[in-house]
Amino acid sequence: MDAARTALLLCLLEVCAGVNPCCYWPCQNKGVCVNVGLEGYECDCTHTGYHGVNCTMPYFWTSVYTFLKPSPAFSHYLLTHYKWLWDIINKISFLSDNLMRLVLTVRSNLIPSPPTYNSDYNYLTWEGYANVSYFTRLLPPVPKDCPTPAGTKGYKTRPNATELAKEFLLRRTFIPDPQRTNLMFAFFAQHFTHQFFRTDFDRGPGFTKALGHGVDLSHVYGDCLERQQHLRLFKDGKLKYQVVNGEIYPPSVNDTPIKMKYLSSVPVDKQLAIGHELFGLVPGLMMYATLWLREHNRVCNILKEEHPTWSDEQLFQTTRLILIGETIKIVIEDYVQHLSGYHFKMKFKPELLFKEQFQYRNRIALEFSHLYHWHPLMPDSFKVNNHDYKYEDFLFKPEILLDLGVDTLLESFTAQIAGRIGGGRNINGNILHVAISVIEHGRQLRLQPFNEYRKWFGLTPYKSFQELTGETEIAARLEKLYGHIDAMELYPALLLETPYENGIFGESIVEMGAPFSLKGLLGNPICSPHYWKPSTFGGQTGFDIINTATLQKLVCLNTKRCPSVAFHTPDNLGHESNEGRERPKTEF
């Protein structure tokens, strides 16, 4: 007997008398539970493909689709094996384009558009749609009148967040990622996502400061007009900069009066001013900020030569659009490609969706923000130029970048492997407090249990903690703390789930994260038919800059040595020739 029918039977037997029946999650297959009367409920099955009291009876075509649809595990296996077959498919544009279109539509259609819930309402409201200061939510909060924090399953009190993190998430021994993900990836992930993952803790963890809700490069240009104007040179469209040891770096706070967060011990002349006020925290973040600053000014030079009559404003605005396009292409074709482990080559081709029903607007979901706390990536120390930096010697140390240079950091971060995200017990103690905060915020915001999110994304709910973790010791301990697998919390479960074979994490992060990511990237306005054309980017030259962008090219056009970089550690460290690579343009 399934969970929905069991819940209904319990209510009929008056076991749940006085309990909100929606706390039993009776409505399946994305049906919406609505209270009726004092103790009744009904399930709204509209547009789900199911009918019946609890939306459990499929219509004919739903049954056919469900029968033919491959399981996520099978799809993942197929995409990560048979390289010879994918090499053939990747060379046939008709096949690869149609497969990419299928990937985009199937993934993106899982994300509601327009947005639905926010953290203050467990029903649809105009506020949930219109108030962009909230993170949106995929699933509404657990009703406040439920018997337990998970609805009805588990205990009334959850395990202490700090003790939970120390027992299950704290690293004992560094576990390297089997996909050879490196620190170039780790710092890119942090740099890229913090333009839209910007929780407004002054208002509460359900609110965001990133009102753009997507790829807007606010971490480069600032999150408001005033900050942007302080960062601009107001000449030829460029951003302010300084020259240190013959190379371009962001300006100091002495020359750019914006608020940055540094320790008082950091000399003022070493405090660099950039779009995101927290990116002075780690040299890896400032390294990427420097690369994008150089790229912005480089592209301004190209546009200025192409359009000598353009104003400073038009040069600046057009360059920003080009860099947004470069970012999205690098994220899809380098970053997501590496993360997936697929042999199928991902493509950034917005035109693939022009004949599809697709909304070019995005809202960042709270669940996506929680899912993306990938702190196990961080190592126990940072190896730069034959020096081993501990956390206390690395954080808030912009002089590491200024003294050693961008090239050295790029080479060092490419060579150092990052930690595996899934499987648990792999977060360095220096940053464990962040994971603790995520757990506490999830409770404060009454996130639904992990298995409810599994259901939403069409994944089979786990039946036991052993099935979740793939072992017995941790599983037994979790069962003792939570009481039932249906009470397991979202964030700890994502990190404790058994990773794919030779994978960086498990099924749930892949199947939940990919839809949020692809919808957010392709939902950007520049990907729409009205924007995606050469004139938007200053003509064919600007359009070509986007369509030929790669991580390696971004580095080579903005460094002296043009070091070999990737989001994984190379097989042969430091011995690849630079011959034949594009050389950087030195004029900024």
Q: What's the pLDDT score for residue 39?
A: 83
Q: CA angle 425-442-448, nearest 5°?
A: 105
Residue 80 reports pLDDT greater than 90: yes
**pLDDT confidence tier of residue 421, bands split at 50, 70 and 90:** very high
Per-residue confidence band for 553, with pLDDT thresholds at 50, 70 and 90: very high
Helix (H, G, I), strand (E, B) or coil at 419: strand
Average confidence (pLDDT) over 9-20: 57
Which token pair is 282? 């780690």
DSSP sequence for 526-581: GGSTTT-SGGGGTSHHHHHHHHT--HHHHHHTT-SS-----SB--SSTT----TTP
Q: Give the integer Cα–Cα distance in Å for 77 and 341.
A: 10
- Asked if 235 and 220 touch (Cβ cutoff 8 Å), the reply is no
The predicted structure's pLDDT at residue 345:
97
Hey, which residues are catalytic here?
Answer: 194, 372
Q: Bridge partners of 51?
A: 57
Share of the chain above pLDDT 70, in %: 94
Residue 108: burial class (beta carbons within 10 Å; 0-12, 13-18, 19+)? buried
Residues 6+ apart with CB under 8 A from 298: 557, 558, 584, 585, 588
CA nearest to 154, candidates 491, 498, 478 = 478
For residue 293, what is the enclosing H or E element? Answer: helix 283-306
Distance of alpha carbon 248 from alpha carbon 93, whole angstroms: 40
pLDDT at 106 (0 to 100): 93
pLDDT of 571 reads: 77
Q: What is the pLDDT of residues 252-274, one digit of tens each?
A: 999 998 999 999 999 998 999 99
Buried b (16+ CB within 10 A) or exposed e, 223-234: beeebbebbbee
Instruction: Report the mean per-residue pLDDT for the chain.
Output: 93
Separation of alpha carbons 574 and 560, rounded Å: 16
Q: DSSP class of residue 391?
A: H
**In angstroms, how far is the first alpha carbon of the chain from the final one?**
68
Q: What is the pLDDT of residues 172-193, one digit of tens each?
A: 999 999 999 999 999 999 999 9
- The whole-angstrom separation of Cα 189 and Cα 195 is 11
Region at 248 (left for phi over 0; alpha for psi -120 to 50; beta for the rest): beta
Length of the chain: 588
Label the pairing between strands 242-244 and 247-249.
antiparallel
Q: What are the start-end ranges of the H helices in 29-169?
A: 60-68, 72-80, 83-91, 93-108, 126-130, 161-168
Residues 218 and 253: their CA atoms lie apart, in Å, by 18
pLDDT given for residue 586 in this prediction: 39
Mean pLDDT (whole number) for 20-33: 96
| Amino acid letter for position 511 | E
Q: How confident is the model at residue 581 (pLDDT cuts 50, 70, 90)?
A: very low
Phi-psi region of 31 (alpha: psi -120 to 50; beta: other; left: phi over 0): beta
Q: Which residue has the tokens 């990622």?
A: 177
